[in-house]
Amino acid sequence: MKIKFSRRRFLATGAGALGAIAMPHLSRAADRPAVTHGVQSGDVTVDGGVVWARADRPSQMLVEVATTESFKDARALPPIAALPESDFTAKMLLENLPGGQDIFYRIRFRDLPHPAIEGEPVVGRFRTAPADRRDVSFVWGGDVAGQGWGINPDDGGMVSFSTMRRHRPDFFLHSGDTVYADGPIQSEVKLADGKIWKNVTIPEKAKVAETLDEFRAAHKYNFTDDNVRAFNAEVPIFVQWDDHEVTNNWSLSKELPAAYKERNIVLLAARAGCAFHEMYPMRESIVEPGRVYRKIAYGPHLDMFVLDERSYRAANGTNLETEYGPASYFLGPDQIAWLKRGLLNSRATWKVIASDMPLSLVVPDTPKGGSEAFAQGDGPVRGREFEIADILRFIKTAPIRNTVWLTADVHYTAAHYYDPNKAQFQDFEPFWEFVSGPLHAGTFGPNDLDNTFGPEVRFIKAPGKGNQNLPPSAGMQFFGHVKIDGASGQMTVTLRDRADVALWATTLDPKVA
């Protein structure tokens, strides 16, 4: 069946566009610009998405887009530059696409000094969000290449990405710690049983990242994994960041370890942020360049609110203030106001709040003491918890229906049910928080649970406090899978391991006003 686009300006109609596709691609021996780290798409909505690639030299990125894998009647888009200033990366927003449609894109690079020379294309695909009430499926998790566990071909590489790909999700929510810029990758690690874990290595990952090129290399290292590149070519990413994109538990009070020659945490964070935005297909804010928090509308059933709990926080101190003020900032007033407006205006069945840190798991900032996350320990609301209390109270009084929180960070998987009847702060409606990770890093946990908001552990899988930092080969790598039924609006959440074993699941019925 031929698809028509009378309501969307999808196909180029001019002879110039068709001529651009038909033009033969010239070469000069084997010296042609190459796509170096695969292709990616991201921040997909009902009528568009962002595509990304990186070249090996100054080039122009050429993109063709179609609704068929054969690229019949493809649309050629204007070229954009990939220059040294962005480490030869380039990304483009594709617009005016049909809703609920498989979209195929093809990227090649054209040599800037010799425009007649073009490289081989690399193909990717994504599916735009549905315009009607169709099924939606997505996966989430975080924590990649942490604790020195890098790409080990003998273990199959980053296996979790291959496992997630088999579910053919509509998109992937990456909950942060996309890289461990503070975690060197050594060629070998001795395991507890005497066996040797063998990492693929690159020179830049032999030390902590300090220069812009070293931060870039941390991301590019992950993209050299076959599983990751295959996944990225088929599954759009909705990405957020946390601490390890810069360094462990960073805030303005961070005292850097002796391994760092660069002692300015603000400068390190700026370089890390630059690399992060270069390396992922995000829709960039023109209101606040470099902003990570954003809403992604994915059809009638789902609005995704992607938070940034790193960029606006106050210093990691004791965080035990009894009144809310600048010392208690975690999301910060502007982001909280944005979240409230978005929730209030949302007409989606489900409002998923993507939090890069759990709400009630205690994450100490050692060895200094103090806290790294929201939770301050059992008792009444204190410090950063004022922000969560404010948000939960707003959700209840507005009222906002069908909110779910998704997170990672703690390197194990769990399901938490929040019950005001069991809480110190009780002015909220019951809700769920689901935790899943690591995708490819050391497995830890469990963390202590804070009773301020009344969380109840309905499921947990963690190695136990006497058995920490398990390697990926131990199998305790976790991701979450969410399915929303198009007809009923029911949401099913399943927690899985890298072998694709369904560890636990629950189905949530949407509430109606």
Closest CA to 48 of 101, 2, 90, 123: 101
CA 103 – CA 194 distance, rounded (Å): 48
Which residues, in sequence order, are bridge partners of residue 107?
63, 122
CA 261 – CA 263 distance, rounded (Å): 6
Q: Residue 284 burial (CB < 10 Å; 0-12/13-18/19+)?
A: middle
Rg (CA), the chain: 23
DSSP summary character for residue 90: E
Compute how many other C-beta atoms are within 10 angstroms of the C-beta atom of residue 194: 6
Amino acid 370: pLDDT = 80
From first CA to last CA, the distance across the chain in angstroms is 40
Which three-class secondary structure state does DSSP give residue 238? strand
CA 327 – CA 317 distance, rounded (Å): 9
CA 492 – CA 513 distance, rounded (Å): 21
- CB-based contacts of 510, cutoff 8 Å, min separation 6: 349, 350, 401, 402, 488, 489, 490, 491
Looking at 129-264, list the stretches that DSSP marks H as alpha helix, in order from N- to C-terminal side: 159-165, 212-223, 226-234
Closest CA to 476 of 489, 460, 488: 460
Residue with tokens 């990186």: 54
Instruction: Give residue-wise pLDDT tens across range 437-449.
Output: 999 999 999 999 9
Structure tokens at 505: 């699941």
C-alpha separations of 375 from 149, 196, 298, 334, 365 in Å:
28, 38, 30, 21, 12
Closest CA to 159 of 496, 504, 468: 496
Closest CA to 129 of 233, 51, 44: 44
Which three-class secondary structure state does DSSP give residue 214? helix
Amino acid 24: pLDDT = 43
Residue ranges in the chain modelled with pLDDT below 50: 1-27, 29
CA 243 – CA 438 distance, rounded (Å): 15
Buried b (16+ CB within 10 A) or exposed e, 29-45: eeebbbbbbbbbbbbbb
Amino acid 253: pLDDT = 87
Closest CA to 415 of 424, 405, 429, 425: 405
Closest CA to 279 of 13, 42, 22, 1: 42
- CB-based contacts of 312, cutoff 8 Å, min separation 6: 329, 330, 331, 332, 334, 335
Closest CA to 276 of 328, 344, 322, 215: 215
Which residues, in sequence order, are bridge partners of residue 470?
443
CA 125 – CA 103 distance, rounded (Å): 6
205 alpha carbon, distance to own chain's centre: 21
Amino acid 15: pLDDT = 31
Which three-class secondary structure state does DSSP give residue 416? strand
174, 237 contact by CB (below 8 A) = yes
Which residues, in sequence order, are bridge partners of residue 491?
484, 508
Structure tokens at 437: 């990770």
Amino acid 191: pLDDT = 96
What residue ranges define each of the domains in the chain, with the CATH number in brackets? 15-127 (2.60.40.380), 136-508 (3.60.21.70)
Amino acid 421: pLDDT = 98
Structure tokens at 53: 């690639």
What pTM does this model have? 0.94
CA 278 – CA 265 distance, rounded (Å): 20
Residue with tokens 């649970």: 449
Q: Is the peptide bond before 115 cis (omega within 30 degrees of 0)?
A: no
Amino acid 78: pLDDT = 97
CA 16 – CA 78 distance, rounded (Å): 11
Amino acid 47: pLDDT = 97
Report the amino acid identity of residue 244: H
Length of the chain: 513
Closest CA to 38 of 25, 26, 55: 55
Residue with tokens 């899985």: 496
